[in-house]
Amino acid sequence: MPDVLEAAFSEAPIGMAVVDMSGRVLRVNEALCRITGYTNAHICARSFRDLSDPHDADVEALQNRDLLEGRVAAYQVEKRYRHAWGHSVWVLLSVSLVRDDVGHPLHLIAQVQDFSARKERDVRLEYLADHDFLTMLCNARRFQQALAQEIKLALPVANERDAQQHPD
């Protein structure tokens, strides 16, 4: 059975890492190396957190705490990793916890799927939905969204001003 598990880890089409409780990477597969652009040795020499884009480094902090405290069995987050070449890579990170026989945390299992192409497509579709094809100006739908947002922001200010002018 260990050979089957080893093959499943090594040959998985998604990135995988085994991370100790201090955040040190113990093991990675080739798919994770392809996603990040780093070598196995480079990833294992760093903290798993170091793979994250600086803006997304703490995205999963609350979920990680819930996992360690036993409130959830696993979690998933969308975040960016910083590729070795400097660009961001959007990933879906799934994390689960392996515990020993008495329930103490041993290590984390991280699974990483690159969905950058889907994210770029979603951004493009959102742009097309909000802009006129010929002029590339915001369309009526986008105008209505912006107007609603501005009204929402202005109401508390107007209500406060009215309360100051007409005290009860």
Residue 27's alpha-carbon distances to 34, 49, 98, 121, 153, in angstroms, are 15, 14, 14, 32, 49
Residues 51 and 89 in one domain: yes
Count of domains forming the chain: 2
Residues 67 and 30 in one domain: yes
30 in a structural domain = yes
Q: Answer whether 15's CB lies under 8 Å from 112's CB.
A: yes
pLDDT tens track for 75-129 = 999 999 999 999 999 999 999 999 999 989 999 999 999 998 887 888 788 888 8
Residues 102 and 145 in one domain: no
Residues 91 and 153 in one domain: no
Residues 57 and 90 in one domain: yes
43 in a structural domain = yes
Residues 104 and 62 in one domain: yes
Cβ neighbours of residue 55 closer than 8 Å, sequence gap 6 or more: 80
| pTM score | 0.75
The Cα–Cα gap between 129 and 123 comes to: 10
pLDDT tens track for 26-48 = 999 999 999 999 999 999 999 99
